[in-house]
Amino acid sequence: LTRPKVLIILPFRSAVLRVVKILSKLIFQNDKANVLHMKKFLREFGVEDDDEMKNKPEDHRQLFAGNTDDNFLLGLSLGKRSLKLYTKLYSSDILLASPLALRLRVGADGDEERDYDFLSSIEVLIMDQVDVFEMQNWDHVLHVLNQLHLQPKEAHAVNFSRVRMWTLNGWSKFYRQTLMFSSLVSPEINSIFSKHCSNILCDF
């Protein structure tokens, strides 16, 4: 129903920098990656030097090194020979976002201006450093998960001849793959599997 198919939720901008570099290496294995708007991306998501970080413990440096801003929503689109950054939301194939930015974009129940249509066709959900989300605001994560696969309010130039029937029937959540990465396990994280992961191919 909408173009975005992959949603990667990350805690900090520094994590976005790592993900984009990894994606470019995986997609363009010949080291001739054509990443559009890379200079702007490095300015906004690049590493911020901090002399005080040198005196911190190793685990602290690994987590908080670089840009620790937690409000970002970045769209990526894939071409045959290019990876384009800063694409419009409904023209993106991959979305990199923080829980806070998604919560602000989606809005709350009762808000006059809400936008959750871009979450209607997510087929792969990746949540990295989930334990960090618990230290930020776990309610943002739960709110975003509740907005996945809702029927869009607008058509967004969709070609209905190519829409899968199970999508129209509201069964998209049964076909979504969810990957969560965390340095520890908690009841909150386990609850996501039981309440928000309904893939019919799951084998627990």
pLDDT in tens, 41-61: 999 998 765 666 667 777 666
Contact 127, 181 (CB under 8 A): yes
Do the domain assignments include residue 35? yes
- Nearest one of 43, 40, 104 to 70, comparing CA atoms: 104
Do the domain assignments include residue 204? no
pLDDT number for residue 201: 65
Give the domain CATH number at 160. Answer: 3.40.50
- CA-to-CA dists, residue 152 to 13, 63, 72, 119, angstroms: 29, 36, 23, 9
> What whole-number percentage of the chain has pLDDT above 90?
46
Do the domain assignments include residue 201? no
**Residue-number span of the structural domain to which 137 is assigned:** 6-196
Do the domain assignments include residue 102? yes
Contact 124, 177 (CB under 8 A): yes
pLDDT number for residue 48: 63
Do the domain assignments include residue 150? yes
Give the global pTM.
0.88
- Nearest one of 19, 157, 195 to 95, comparing CA atoms: 19
How far apart are the C-alpha atoms of 135 and 93, rounded to whole Å?
A: 29
Contact 147, 116 (CB under 8 A): yes
Number of domain units in the chain: 1
Q: Is the predicted pLDDT of residue 133 greater than 80, yes or no? A: yes
Do the domain assignments include residue 202? no
Say how many CA atoms lie within 13 Å of 106 toward its Cβ: 25
pLDDT in tens, 158-191: 776 777 777 777 778 888 999 999 988 899 999 9
Give the lowest-confidence range in 137-141, 146-150, 151-155.
Answer: 151-155
pLDDT in tens, 9-20: 999 999 999 999
Do the domain assignments include residue 84? yes
- Calculate helix-pair angle for 138-146, 187-196, nearest 10 degrees: 10
Q: Could you count the other beta carbons within 10 Å of the beta carbon of residue 195? A: 11
